[in-house]
Structure 1
Amino acid sequence: MEIRYTAIPAERLEAMRSAGHDELGNKWQLRVAEGWEPLRCCLRKADVDEDIALICYTPWESPSPWMEAGPVFVHHDACDGYAEIDRYPAVFLNNKAILNPFDHSGARAYDHITFLEPEDDHEQAVGDVLGQPDVAYLHARSGTAGCFHFLVRQA
């Protein structure tokens, strides 16, 4: 099975930067990274003193009863994004995570929600969840804070 890992789409981020606020109206504001912040635009950890922004983000592009929005860090200015779309992002491999799956109608596939510990095989778990016939895609989320990490689907 070929799997794709997708960061926040560059087009959505650019629209927010141009508007001066995120999609929920929070000001697009410069922050200086301390070096621990996981960036959802390029799926890596921020470097110390890098220009970043903290925004509220939802992976949903249209209204949905499943819509979840929360804080995520991104680069303040455009970056190159995440190029290794066929690889589980290394910065998230050894974290607590939640694989939050959705079925083909867009409803949460409750039977396949998976909680991962740092020592678990995250890539295997993703393959197991996406291998279920009723799962269309999933959102990988922080197992500690619950915030969105990235979108995962079959290629």
Structure 2
Amino acid sequence: MTDKRYIALSTEVARHYQAGGADANGQIPERKTSAGGSMPCRHCLSDIAAGEDYLVLAHRPFTAAQPYAELGPIFLHAKRCARYALEDRVPEMFRGWDRLMLRGYGADDRIVYGTGTVVAAAEIETAADEILAHPEVRYVHARSAKNNCYQCRIEQAD
């Protein structure tokens, strides 16, 4: 297996949303209280616990709008949380999941066709290695297999 980084939403972007900044649709994030379950915060890459306030908002995990720059809902702790720091490890929250969707993107932020796959959570590292080995792929998105929601970005370590 190659060395990889599992990259969470940046702290700058998280603080923007937590401060009430507009999301990718130009709307203020909605504030809710978690009932528990699978509610992954994209900044700390851990589940939002029952009773904790969280934000639901539209996010585009790309630098610019273009046809392949998908926009979708994400969850985020309403109060400040520490950014996921163990980038060289698969986030623990994924280990409890059944499946994830992985998809490779090129340097132009376009999907590299033929790289999308749904894998068992236990196979994330191997599947990400296979996708990252494709010469056109620069990074991988990990997404929910059921709802296609963006989770994090996976890159080869420097």
| TM-score clears 0.5 | yes
Measured in 1, the distance between the counterparts of 2:18 and 2:118 equals: 33
Deviations, residues 6-59 of structure 1 (Å, cap 9, x unaligned): 111110121233344323222223211111111111111111111211111110
Measured in 2, the distance between the counterparts of 1:114 and 1:30 equals: 32
Structure 2 match to 1:42: 44
Percentage of identical aligned residues: 29
How many residue pairs get aligned? The number is 154
Superposed CA RMSD: 1.6
Measured in 2, the distance between the counterparts of 1:50 and 1:70 equals: 22
Match of residue 139, structure 2, among 130, 137, 140: 137
Quick check: 1:146 aligned with 2:144?
no
SS in structure 2 opposite 1:101?
Answer: strand
Unpaired runs of at least 5, structure 1: none
Unpaired runs of at least 5, structure 2: none
Measured in 2, the distance between the counterparts of 1:95 and 1:86 equals: 21
TM-score (norm 2): 0.89
Measured in 2, the distance between the counterparts of 1:97 and 1:129 equals: 14
TM-score (norm 1): 0.91
Structure 2 match to 1:115: 118
Report the AA paired with residue 79 of structure 2.
D
Contact kept, 8 Å, 1:52 with 1:74, in 2: the verdict is yes
Contact kept, 8 Å, 2:143 with 2:152, in 1: the verdict is yes
SS in structure 2 opposite 1:56?
Answer: strand
Structure 2 match to 1:88: 90
Report the AA paired with residue 22 of structure 2.
H
